[in-house]
Structure 1
């Protein structure tokens, strides 16, 4: 499975590591009934944004089974957020040349964003998935087991991140867009001076799909 992030700088296509987790994680996302509820939700910065509620039965069957957290919840979370339009119009708020670029926060502050369950979820570190190349995609967090909606792309190998952040995908097309992102000048807090924005996201059932 793959997704394309349609940004204002061009498209980035990412392969999602569904083959690294049980098939139920992929199948539940493909069969999601995404219903859009426009609720008003205020965060600490008084920013209002829509919240999308995902079918609870489909999601919970992958989040927890007999009291045990299932594998692949970060993939279920990311794809469900993509399908709901949660990332549409969001910016990449942190950009560090030679290191990574981070986004996925609807508030654009680096302090916001939530999972589809409305709470943080645990890290899922897999030995087979490492920060070992340019374009690795991983969940951003503020410490152990604090994953929500934010994610990042690496600009190079970052072995010191292994074991600390949950890797769930990699860039397969659009490296030239990643190049443009990396060259974008930044200001205080590593914030890009020129906006880098996700306009929308397309989910592909096949990584080779157009």
Structure 2
């Protein structure tokens, strides 16, 4: 008797007995009919629509659902609050309990193949069938071990190892932060950083009281940038400081109020004070069109230094001055330094953001208000309330 070889099942994709059999539920079967009625459109459009329709159905069929379980970016200041920690702990415990219940149900369903009834009603009906029931229980036990192995060997889509390492790093940070709970919320202001930089006077002594003034900057038709406070070194450069103070007070027809900032070099300096033309080619002083440079005893050692702008190659000044955004000691013995910013370093940062590498600022910025501070304790007690 000749035994015929068993035929290989035909492939669901290519239709041949190629051995690459794919279960029915895992195969995609393209549509043979488009969404148009065949005789209502042209043959070309009919084929094109059928092709696009099958392409869309194939993408939907091959779509997979991935869970984004990347470690979250945790904010320490948020989680240091006790009630938030307790709330998150309770929620994590609740999720853990739900996961355990779900896992128990999944294992139970997999063991019984969908039947969740664990009672074997036929176990003691007939003693003669005990061997049969025993073999059946052995098979169930083997099936349970197989399912358990599959569950243990399953690999998730999300990076579990990276998430565990990130959580350990976060716990380490939390333990370290708990030792210094107040230090997390302490921030060093820009003004404190500015004051900690080297002094502009070096070893020179203070011989008299130094007046203080303020300048407010604003974008034309836009943002109010803020106020800076300036300490003027009248004990070292009295002539230059007197010229600056008189133009601030507005006693003359010309003054700094409304004067544009005609140049801002990003992260280096700004230039303003052209009270006649507003473009950096003019200027005036209370002593006439210009006056001689006084001395170069003060230095450009840090950001926030105010110094006069030299007129061309001559050693003369008028009303134009500049404010530095960094150490500009290459200007020493070129520009006369007469003051420094003592409050409002954040305003300098804003002004620098409107700068270019050369030329005019990105927006028209001008001095909206300016003046001298009164000789009182408003600066210390009321944060410049009277200014």
| Contact 1:123/1:144 (<8 A) preserved | no
2:303 to 109, 131, 134: 134
Alpha-carbon distance in 2 for matches of 1:163, 1:186: 26
Higher fraction of helix: 2
Give 1:43-192 correspondences, 5 Å limit.
72-84=238-250, 86-106=255-275, 107-127=277-297, 129-141=298-310, 142-186=312-356, 190-192=359-361
* SS class of match (1:18): coil
Report the counterpart of residue 11 of structure 1 in structure 2: 227
| Contact 2:283/2:289 (<8 A) preserved | no
| Contact 1:93/1:192 (<8 A) preserved | yes
* SS class of match (2:249): helix
Is 2:363 the counterpart of 1:194?
A: yes
TM-score by length of 2: 0.39
Q: How many residues align?
A: 158
Aligned-residue CA RMSD in angstroms?
1.8
TM-score by length of 1: 0.70
Q: C-alpha offsets along residues 82-118 of structure 1, whole Å, 9 cap, x if unaligned? A: 1116011111101112321000012221001110122
Greater gyration radius: 2
Alpha-carbon distance in 1 for matches of 2:330, 2:371: 31
Residues 17 and 207 (structure 1), Cα distance of their counterparts in 2 relative to 1, 3 Å cut: farther
Higher fraction of strand: 1
Report the CA distance between 1:206 and its aligned residue. 4.2
| Contact 1:12/1:177 (<8 A) preserved | yes
Following superposition, which runs of at least 4 residues in structure 1 exceed 4 angstroms of deviation?
205-208
Report the counterpart of residue 21 of structure 2 in structure 1: none
Residues 207 and 139 (structure 1), Cα distance of their counterparts in 2 relative to 1, 3 Å cut: farther
Extract unaligned runs of 5+ from structure 1: 22-71
* SS class of match (2:284): coil
